[in-house]
Structure 1
Amino acid sequence: MTRFSIVATFVAFIVPLVSSQPASTSPSKTGPYNYGFDPYHKIQKRATDGPIFVEGIPVPDNVEPPVRPEIRQLRNDKYGWNLYLLALSMLQYTDQDDPLSYYQLAGIHGIPFQSWNGVEPKSKQTKNTGYCTHASVLFPTWHRPYLALFEKSLYTYAQEIASWYPNETERNSYIEAAKTWRMPYWDWALDPPDDESIFIPEFTTSGIRVNGPAGTQYIANPLYSYRFNPLDTSSFHYVGFQSWRSTQRYPTSNNADAVSQNTLAAKELDAQTNSLQQRIFTLLSRNEGYHAFSSKVFNSTEGRPHESIEAIHDVIHVSTGGRGHLYYIPFSAFDPIFFLHHTNVDRLTAIWQTMYPDEWITQYPAGENSYTTEVGDMVDANTPLTPFYSDAEGNFWTSNMARDTRVFGYVYEDTLGFPLNTSSASMSRKTLVSAIVTKYGHAGVGGIINAKQRRDTGADPRRWRTKFRVQEGKTLDTAPDFSRHSLIPDPPAEAIMNGDKYYEWLVNVNVPNRALESTFAIHFFLGPPPENVHQWGSARNLVGSVSVFAMLGMGNPKNQVVGTVPLTSALLKIISMGWVLSLDEQNVLPFLQKNLHVRVAKDSTQAIEPNKVPGLVIKIAKAEVKISATGEELPSWGPVQDLFTLPPTSK
């Protein structure tokens, strides 16, 4: 086998896309950056006589690799930011016939359901899926070499672009920035500045200014959409997708002139903020084993639903995709948000590995088909992560090989100094725990405890509970505001704590992954939901959602998936409003039985009666949680206790 790596990528089949005319800065015309020459002719072409294999970005021995930054951090670094936009744009305009083009890299995940890198489908049953391993314990680790391949492609372009700046001082600055450049992640649960949505403004504009070797220009924004050139209607033969020549989010129609409605994506994601923060905090606080962490598939031997990184990940696809490309598995990787989103999933996986270094993959059956795996195939830490070769001899990456991100040449700020393939029990986790609490722990009781530690309220819990006794048992006839901009204060810690313990409340959902043979969302509200299905995902009284990111034919129709919706943050607001006296069962249970509502939306726009969803089971549960006395450890969860089953009706 001939050895070559993706260091020498690009590009065997380039169509000239850049003119040699002077650079234009007019916002009225957007396209790729105009370098004044064809940049692809300056880049070393990849050998074509053998398969591609994935290597990490080289890092000197005994040196910690560079950090992948959060996208808002990268935005503040003018050199790294310009290189990112230029490299991503250049990759998107690479000819689609090249195996390392944006089109083909995205196509590994799903459409066009073709062999990549010479790796053929396992059977007729798997040929109409992508390589990605959904509903599998391999879900987090399969994406690690996939993201590394994408990152290396961007990195290679960034090195070249940096060398093209004509001014020596500027060129040297870009070359230095390029040496440690790494792909950003988008933390979709991190509180943004007060005047900004979590859905950052750079996702919402069709054009963007960038400073390149030929000066500042206004180019087609590579974070806004990917433009197909050409659109393969034989592969994208579904309604809407066969017409859209660029990726869409909440498209205005199924026609070719459709445009994305990014304001809707921003509203839906912002409405999920508290829920996402609580879900991540719970995921990182509870160690239920690697299977529970990694996969949304219900494990009948464990006996109860659980939270997983895959289930949380599904919410982002559904909330931001809105019946566009990101919303459906086969098309999702074409949206530029996909790689930012999955890099954050990889970061959260690395954090979980740091917290629980002795937990790892055990053998478990695949829950869905992938291009090279059939439902029921037993997979484990040595299963090949196809189609990603690790060397020229034809060996594939495995989860064991990809366990530590350092093999690919990167770390995250949260995992800096923590090896992910050995126990780090002897290392101090105080800094990491503090970061987790700061970023994700303030949406629930943890935030109240931290506030109390900063300033003791001195509240008398007896006065607090007496003050609102007349409101107990209320049925809500208006929608409370649970949004991140809500002005409802939190109650004092004394009103909810029993010493160093309190109760967490949550909804556990169990449903067949193919219950509706498409993607759907199960929304939960305290108080009356909006009448209009289009308003459910952004309602002020939305508590959270379980999203089922599904595709026809991928999995076993009987395959059960699970997810959770934390209720505690919303209940704290309810306590502050005087409608519930405490988090104790005798107060919360009757309130939830009267006021918790469920709605189901298929394909973002179609209301489905919950009792028409086959196999849907919704249970309300509580768990006693102990707060760390020192603040150096995450909360400790007791057993989760199911209290009642919510009838799957609209109430």
Structure 2
Amino acid sequence: MSACPEKTYPIQGIPYTPDPQGTPPARQELSRWSTSSDPEERRQVSLFIRALDELQRRNPIENQFSYFRIAGIHGAPGQGWDQAPDPQEEFKGTKGYCYHNSYLFPTWHRPYMVLYEQCLHEIMQEKVQSISDAAVRKEWEQAARNWRLPFWDWAIEQEDTKKLGLPTVASSGQISILRLDGTGEEQSFANPLLKFTNWAPDTNGTLVETPMGDERMGKFKIQFTGVKPPEEHRLDFSKPKATSRWANDQVDAEWINGYARNELVGEAISQHKYMNEPELNLTVKAVVSRLLSPQYFSSYLPFSSTQWASSHPTDSLSLEMIHNNIHEWTGGSGVRSDGSFTQGHMANVPVSSFDPIFWMHHWFSSLLLNVDRLLALFQYINSAWLEDEDLLQTPLQPFHRDEDKTVWTSQEAKDWEKLGYTYPELVGRPDPQQVSRNVQVKYGTPVKALQPSWQGLASCPGVNDDEFQDYIINVKYDRYALDGYPYKIKFFLHVDDQNDIPLGEVYNFSTPLNLGCGNCSTQKAQGVLSKAQVPITLHLHELVRERYSGIPSLRSFSYTPDEKPGLQPNFISNFLEGALIWTVTTNTGELVDLTQFSGLEVNVLTARASFDDTNVALYQPAQGLQDPVSAHTRKAMWCSAQVVSMEITLRCLLPPETTTKYRCNCKSQLA
């Protein structure tokens, strides 16, 4: 593939002939598609794997359509692409290409994904032309024409493994695919979805495995350490020849050659193992249900981004927040139980796009494909989009719509069908209410399981077959508090010195400011903050039902009030003031002194939610919740965690015995 120097590469999507309903081919869920027995889909898998392998082996120095150069658009090595302004130079008030913590986050990634898809499809077409038998070639041409890059739905158990996590096609070293002939025979193939290996020319011009920061990479070498000095364990991303997931960066055999502990991806996504009920264990599934619930967001803007703005309490959730956590859970960070350090490319913004799973992730919501999918579903169900004209017309560099340097904008990226694809839920353009109903049936079962009759249980305070008391933790934080280096805010219920029950976490997924990320530096200078939301209703319900295993009974919590356990606000507010704690840790597991961590505000809120036959649950409309006023502004010394049910407020002091954990330890007061 090449482009004339005067022309730019047009990102337009794969050409298609509409089906009888007028819609383009649909993207498929990765675990189902990759294990399908359908002849056409088996051909598609074979073509896709071969095309990805070739893309990854292209010369990164000479070819802007190599995997390395396309992945590099997202962050490192910070070089220009397709005649767009160099990301190190200032344009439109910022530097760089990628928009994180921005309302343009979903729309920027949409043409980016299509660029990747187009490059793969063009290689697939070339592969098909090598088939000599005309009849066989026609079948493979049809398969290529109908192929669209699949999405990884990380919110459901994978069809092949029956577990949360990566499907086999993204985690095995070898994969069996059809030969490019009509025999139907398979061959074993090194799996390019497991990791990306960088190939660069040696002194003889031969492409060999090369560290991404090697001098031979010239201006494209990656120079990035993922830990803020002077921490001992520095994540040197210039050393690896290949990408890793949950690897020990202190072991060269793992870090340099690329290593994947894929089983830890599933463990990270499903981390609330104290729950006995299988449906209640799938809390990430319930978050997707909430994200796509009718009327949960006041507008498109809070749905799209982690960027904080004064708004309704339910608006603290966002597509980008879930996306950030999946990045960390897939790449890995921190310390394992055996004391070893684990890291991965997906958890670090500048190099996250080099992991092949990155592209399937983003199609789900558009991580990236699953991200785009969630974006499309939200658009379809809510008929919502950007309304600000400046945002709509902001150039999404470096992506061009034609050969004449016309840059994509969010206005042009609104209609995914014009880019040649749709999603399974939207084939035939069904009624939006039916789409909403189908989505909630798929993702809302953990919430539905709260109904006493669903499990054959008696009602308990705060929950019955008609409604339940819903609880969320809203977080306002400074994404760049550690100068842009990664950190996570983790929430627990404290039992004793040996037991802290995990509730959820928030990952900042930021680029270090010293790497020249203009978007990051601009936001830091302007004091732009971020938001997140951790729903905790399922966790609290499990505790009050006393069905968890491996953890002392709820009665053993010394701060549990002497009344019948339930989800009623009086009980939960007293319970949380003694049990709820939170910490901030770096991506090497180091606890951050919270007195030195500015900009963090935590609020716990509650409202009634009703069960609904159509949508599983109807959460209280955003405008119906009372937005509490922070009790204090000195966030470094005071936390403002509050439980609000129109009349109850908790005020919490920083415990004198620790500076690394905040804990609610004071009595509730009537507002």
Q: Give the alignment's TM-score, normalised by structure 2.
A: 0.74
Indicate conservation of the 8 Å contact 2:44/2:143, yes or no: yes
SS of alignment partner, residue 198 of structure 1 = coil
- CA, structure 1 residues 383+506, in 2 after alignment: closer, same or farther (shift >3 Å)? same
- Size of the aligned set, in residue pairs, is 540
Q: Decide which of 214, 217, 223 is 1:237's aligned counterpart.
A: 223
- Letter in structure 2 aligned against 1:585: P
- Written as runs of structure 1 = structure 2, the 5 A alignment for 1:609-648 is 609-628=593-612, 630-631=613-614, 635-638=618-621, 639-641=624-626, 642-643=642-643, 644=650
Q: Does 1:429 align with 2:386?
A: no
Q: Does 1:56 align with 2:39?
A: no
Indicate conservation of the 8 Å contact 1:202/1:223, yes or no: yes
Counterpart CA distance in 2 for 1:221 and 1:109 is 23
Counterpart CA distance in 2 for 1:128 and 1:253 is 33
Q: RMSD value over aligned CA atoms?
A: 2.9
Counterpart CA distance in 2 for 1:219 and 1:540 is 44
- Letter in structure 2 aligned against 1:266: G
Other-structure match for 1:226: 196
Q: Decide which of 254, 257, 282 is 2:253's aligned counterpart.
A: 257
Q: Does 1:526 align with 2:490?
A: no
- Letter in structure 2 aligned against 1:327: A
Q: Decide which of 46, 62, 70 is 1:82's aligned counterpart.
A: 46
- CA, structure 1 residues 88+528, in 2 after alignment: closer, same or farther (shift >3 Å)? farther
Note the C-alpha offset of 1:305: 6.0
Q: Does 1:114 align with 2:79?
A: yes
Indicate conservation of the 8 Å contact 2:165/2:269, yes or no: yes
The range that moved more, 184-193 or 228-237, is: 228-237
Q: Does 1:132 align with 2:98?
A: yes
Q: Does 1:363 align with 2:388?
A: yes
- CA, structure 1 residues 53+254, in 2 after alignment: closer, same or farther (shift >3 Å)? farther
Q: Decide which of 519, 540, 565 is 1:571's aligned counterpart.
A: 540
Counterpart CA distance in 2 for 1:634 and 1:448 is 10
Note the C-alpha offset of 1:122: 7.0
SS of alignment partner, residue 606 of structure 1 = coil
- Written as runs of structure 1 = structure 2, the 5 A alignment for 1:108-507 is 108-121=73-86, 124=89, 130-165=96-131, 170-192=136-158, 195-213=162-180, 216-230=186-200, 231-233=211-213, 235-239=221-225, 240-254=236-250, 256-258=252-254, 259-271=259-271, 274-285=282-293, 286-300=296-310, 306-322=316-332, 323-341=343-361, 342-357=368-383, 359-363=384-388, 379-418=390-429, 428-444=431-447, 446-449=448-451, 452=453, 457=456, 460-461=458-459, 465=460, 496-497=462-463, 500-507=466-473
Counterpart CA distance in 1 for 2:494 and 2:511 is 32
Note the C-alpha offset of 1:411: 0.2
Indicate conservation of the 8 Å contact 2:88/2:95, yes or no: no
Indicate conservation of the 8 Å contact 2:10/2:400, yes or no: yes
SS of alignment partner, residue 209 of structure 1 = strand
Note the C-alpha offset of 1:560: 1.0
- CA, structure 1 residues 520+442, in 2 after alignment: closer, same or farther (shift >3 Å)? same
- Letter in structure 1 aligned against 2:463: M
Other-structure match for 1:545: 505
Which whole-Å deviations, capped at 9, do the CAs of 1:292-347 have from their partners, x for residues lacking one? 01110111366886111011100011111123211111111111111011100000
Counterpart CA distance in 1 for 2:308 and 2:652 is 19
Counterpart CA distance in 1 for 2:500 and 2:311 is 38
Note the C-alpha offset of 1:522: 1.2
The range that moved more, 240-249 or 256-265, is: 256-265
Note the C-alpha offset of 1:125: 5.9
Indicate conservation of the 8 Å contact 1:320/1:327, yes or no: yes
Counterpart CA distance in 1 for 2:591 and 2:507 is 14
Counterpart CA distance in 2 for 1:164 and 1:294 is 43
The range that moved more, 324-333 or 245-254, is: 245-254
Q: Does 1:606 align with 2:590?
A: yes
Note the C-alpha offset of 1:229: 1.4
SS of alignment partner, residue 63 of structure 2 = coil
Counterpart CA distance in 1 for 2:95 and 2:497 is 36
Indicate conservation of the 8 Å contact 2:87/2:95, yes or no: no
Which whole-Å deviations, capped at 9, do the CAs of 1:474-502 have from their partners, x for residues lacking one? xxxxxxxxxxxxxxxxxxxxx54356332
Counterpart CA distance in 1 for 2:282 and 2:503 is 8
The range that moved more, 586-595 or 204-213, is: 204-213
SS of alignment partner, residue 108 of structure 1 = helix
Counterpart CA distance in 2 for 1:499 and 1:250 is 42
Other-structure match for 2:558: none
Q: Does 1:67 align with 2:26?
A: yes
Counterpart CA distance in 2 for 1:122 and 1:88 is 26
Other-structure match for 1:479: none
Which whole-Å deviations, capped at 9, do the CAs of 1:547-600 have from their partners, x for residues lacking one? 111112224333211101110111121121084622110121111222222232
- CA, structure 1 residues 135+632, in 2 after alignment: closer, same or farther (shift >3 Å)? closer
SS of alignment partner, residue 133 of structure 1 = coil
Note the C-alpha offset of 1:54: 0.7
- CA, structure 1 residues 612+152, in 2 after alignment: closer, same or farther (shift >3 Å)? same
Counterpart CA distance in 2 for 1:139 and 1:594 is 38
- CA, structure 1 residues 204+392, in 2 after alignment: closer, same or farther (shift >3 Å)? closer
Unaligned runs of 5+ in 2: 201-210, 216-220, 226-235, 273-280, 333-342, 362-367, 514-519, 547-552, 555-563, 627-641, 644-649, 655-659, 664-671
Counterpart CA distance in 2 for 1:189 and 1:564 is 17
- CA, structure 1 residues 645+158, in 2 after alignment: closer, same or farther (shift >3 Å)? farther
Which whole-Å deviations, capped at 9, do the CAs of 1:73-131 have from their partners, x for residues lacking one? 21124222222211211211122121111111111111110110111147756799641
- CA, structure 1 residues 196+114, in 2 after alignment: closer, same or farther (shift >3 Å)? same
- CA, structure 1 residues 583+274, in 2 after alignment: closer, same or farther (shift >3 Å)? same
The range that moved more, 251-260 or 545-554, is: 251-260
- Letter in structure 1 aligned against 2:30: I
Same amino acid, percent of matched pairs: 26
Counterpart CA distance in 1 for 2:197 and 2:44 is 24
Note the C-alpha offset of 1:397: 1.4
Counterpart CA distance in 2 for 1:300 and 1:184 is 37
- Letter in structure 1 aligned against 2:388: Q
- Letter in structure 2 aligned against 1:432: V
- CA, structure 1 residues 128+551, in 2 after alignment: closer, same or farther (shift >3 Å)? farther
- CA, structure 1 residues 645+438, in 2 after alignment: closer, same or farther (shift >3 Å)? farther
- Letter in structure 2 aligned against 1:594: G
Note the C-alpha offset of 1:145: 0.8
Unaligned runs of 5+ in 1: 1-9, 13-45, 365-378, 419-426, 466-494, 532-538
Indicate conservation of the 8 Å contact 2:475/2:603, yes or no: yes
Note the C-alpha offset of 1:407: 0.8
